[in-house]
Chains A and B, each alone.
Chain A
Amino acid sequence: MVFSSLLFLFAYLPVTLALYYLIPNTRYRNWVLFIVSLLFYGWGEPLYILVMLASITEAYVFGFFIARHRDANPGRARLYLVLSLGMNLAALLFFKYANFFIENLRLIPFLTDVIAPVEGLKLPIGISFYTFQIMSYTIDLYRRQTDVQKNFVAFGTYVTLFPQLIAGPIVRYRDVDDQLMTRTETFDLFASGVRRFTVGLSKKVLLGDAAAACYEYFKASDAFADSTAGAWMVMIFYTLHIYYDFSGYSDMAIGLGRMIGFRFLENFDYPYIAESITEFWRRWHMSLGTWFKEYVYIPLGGNRAGKWKQYRNIAVVWLLTGFWHGANWNYILWGVYFGLILMAEKTFLLGVLKKLPAFVRHLYALLLIGFGWIIFSFTDASAGLSCFASLFGIGTGTFCTPTVGYQIVRALPLLIIGAVGATPLPKKLWDKFCTVDWTGIGAIRGNGIEEPIRMEKSALSVRGKIFAVLTTAGTLGLLTVCTAYLVDSTFSPFLYFIF
């Protein structure tokens, strides 16, 4: 099930929230969450629910073993850690990558007839996300950074929690372990969740899907092969599409989490305002970056084991990051591409960039990000290459055909809104309104995670009241518009499902 569907909004969500708040305490509320999350998952993947439950049970049981031995017998604990991680990774490797390896091995002549792809194997939704979540628990446990979770339902709830189950953010266990057993739901948190969810839904439905339609048009029509402008549009609209799709989904996840008392960490921090690729990756899909840093890069020695080892570590992390995104060569290439740029930036590029004007740095980063998305979006290498060549006018008949021109003009408002929306400007304006001291006591504060917007009725000035009413009305208005789009649309692909 996806959040941006009528079924989720008008069947699943009301029932879930009603059940959740009808049940009195957190312990039983976890039961509700565990069960509804399994239903959420099972709706799209009725069979693979068993795979997920097996992974959960395995990590839960091994958690006890690791916790028991980690003080007295570290070697033993280590063995259990390796076993547990091994089983988790085996499931991921099998379901996500088996056929990729087999297909590629079959390219070796004498193996062609020896092995065959596993038939009927499709990727269980969200397996890349929940496997990483489970592994964070096992590893943190081994490192004594968290305690064993004795309550199976609480642990199951952590893994299956529907807001982040199928597309992240990848929540580390230690970031939520205390929230699993004790959390307080408040109107402040709930309302800030509603606003966050609405923003995310709007980003996905109004901007992400619209950008996707433009991208699909330019791509499917082969406009990129005909005209240089068409190729640029493919790149630009994919850049917008993937950001609004994915960050919108993260916003919805964070918002839904707040509605049920959870506080998740942020996943995006305006990645497209980065001035270097190093900075981009600190702002894009932060929970994944953190995961790889924490559980791969640093254990390998990070940057403290000498220069060459650091390069090796960067190479490993980016190979894996690329591969994590999909079982196809283009994703590996995409990872390698960023790994190389990051190494170059570490060696000398950042120094050079520092001396250049800011707009050059932005241009540099945006272009490299865009080129990266071309690698990412074309699983067919020759089409990707042709699109890339077209960017520079190689192989295109003309700069722009009338039909491509028409399409660009009509997509221009979307492009402008998308570009502005990807900067912190809207948030800054919002914060400015929020932090104006209308009340004399600074009662309306930022929308940060620890301080959901808060307004004291008694202290509200007239302007504060107007702003508060406008905010509420705007939220409902956006929800209505999004509903309208969902009612009248069948075009709502969700990208990150394939990971």
Chain B
Amino acid sequence: MKNIINILTSALFAAFLLIFTAAFVLTPDADFSEEENRSLTTFPKFTWERLLDGSFSSDINEYFADQFPARDMLVGIKGVTETLLLKGENNGVLLGEGGQLAVRLFDAYKSRLERTPDMDYYYTENIAVSVDALNAFAQSSDVPVTTMFPPRTVDITSSVSDYPTEISDALDVQLAETIVPEAGYIADLRKRMEDLYSHGEYVYFRTDHHWTTYGAYHAYILLMHEWGMEDGILPPEAFTVEKIENFYGTTWSRAGYKFVGPDTLEIWSPGNEDDFTTTCYTEKQVKGEDGKPTVVREVSKSFSGWLNREYLTRKDKYAAFLDGTHNEQTVFHNTETGRPRLLIAKDSFANTMVPFLAQHFDLVIVNLAGRMTDLTEYVEEYGCDRVLIVWNRANLIENNILAAIK
């Protein structure tokens, strides 16, 4: 029995390869990862063409990574290793004090095309065209417009992270300087959230990119002041708070920091939810009487209040608000008529504001992210008295959907 250790090393190496390989072959493929909240790559389609142009090979690599046995555990091992290497982030997600996760600003520089001579803007094209469209819309709109660009987590968490704020600050400057007064831009939203956060208020989730219900409440207060309705602000005591534990958000899924604990999702209930009905609409193309295709709007879903409680038991708990993503929804009071109407053109940040705003307005809610951008048409059709735009900064920077509003 010589060199036992070398035999052992050889055997363990062979076992290492074989165990993973066997597990890979034997375990059935999954289509969806609950933990990561995304579809997984399944076995790619083989054609000779795809082999020759290399797309088959690259798909196979993705397939291996997505379907690899013990994937979740291995992802966690990488997260721990990166932490031990003191990198402070993993997969582009910053790990701040107290397990605060925040997507860092990778794309910021990329979208910077040129520096203007007098101002060092970090962001240009998407923001410039979006602001142009916003300005034009606000100046031509018959009803007052209010605009909110909810900050990203990284914009407000400087108190727990050493990530520099220069890029966030530059965006503030650029927006404040280029948006016309008619757009009703709420410029101090970021500062308010940052102040609250640095004082330990739970206004943003640790594991999700959204603000919390409490954060949304503060956004609501700012809005009410902006609209001169501060006397009507409902105090926190007007709500009963229900806590939903074990909420792991989108940032957590991306980060791979499995040791970071869950968030608590709060449901603020004013007690009169049942007086409201949420109706969701879809648009469908059908053949009209003359044979031409016409777009017909039909009700796809309707429920009492504004919550779909089914989601509270799943991973994607935030989708409980307004039943997740719908392109067009209304939240109307069942009996009161003649309430003022508010058109909200939004992304998901607005969903948590609905319980508050519904106390004062009938709401018409259109999803900007789904390219519902013809706001003038909605204002006319529903007879809205106000427009509120809620578009988070990540969206503002990464796409130019807002540039299509009219």
Contacts and interface: CB of A to CB of B under 8 A. Distances in A.
B117 to A, nearest CB: 13
Nearest to A222: B109
B238 interface: no
Contact of B52 (A5, A47, A414, A472): A47
Contact of B166 (A401, A412, A469): A401
Interface string A215-258: 00100111100000000000000000000000000000000000
A9 to B, nearest CB: 7
Interface in B320-351: none
A360 interface: no
Interface string B12-44: 111011101100100000000000000000000
A484 B75 CA distance: 6
A458 B2 CA distance: 8
A97 interface: no
Chain A to chain B: the 5 pairs with minimum beta-carbon distance, closest first: A402-B164, A191-B6, A221-B109, A6-B64, A191-B9
Nearest to A402: B164
A7 B60 contact: yes
B164 to A, nearest CB: 3
Contact of B74 (A406, A476, A484): A484
Main SS at interface, chain B: helix
A409 interface: yes
Interface stretch (B77-85, B270-278, B296-304): B77-85
Given A44-B57, A46-B51, A192 B6 contact: yes
A413 interface: yes
Nearest to A480: B77
A17 B5 contact: no
A195 B8 CA distance: 12
Interface in A292-315: none
Given A409-B162, A455-B3, A220 B109 contact: yes
A145 to B, nearest CB: 34
Nearest to B14: A17
Contact of A484 (B10, B57, B81): B81
B88 A487 contact: no
Contact of B3 (A210, A402, A454, A489): A454
Interface residues of B, number: 53
A239 B13 CA distance: 32
A362 B338 CA distance: 82
Interface of A: 1, 5-7, 9-11, 13-14, 17, 43-44, 46-47, 187-188, 190-192, 194-195, 206, 210, 217, 220-223, 401-403, 405-406, 409-414, 417, 452-458, 468-469, 471-472, 475-476, 479-481, 483-490
B4 to A, nearest CB: 4
Contacts of A44: 54, 57
A43 B87 CA distance: 35
Contacts of B1: 457-458
Contacts of A223: 109
B81 A410 contact: no
Nearest to A455: B5
26 contacts: A5-B61, A5-B64, A6-B61, A6-B64, A6-B68, A9-B17, A9-B20, A10-B64, A14-B17, A46-B52, A47-B52, A187-B6, A191-B3, A192-B6, A194-B13, A222-B112, A402-B166, A403-B166, A410-B88, A413-B86, A479-B16, A480-B16, A480-B77, A484-B78, A488-B256, A490-B65
Interface in B56-108: 57, 60-62, 64-65, 68, 71, 74-75, 77-79, 81, 85-89, 91, 106
Contact of B164 (A406, A412, A481): A406
Contacts of B7: 187, 191
B163 interface: yes
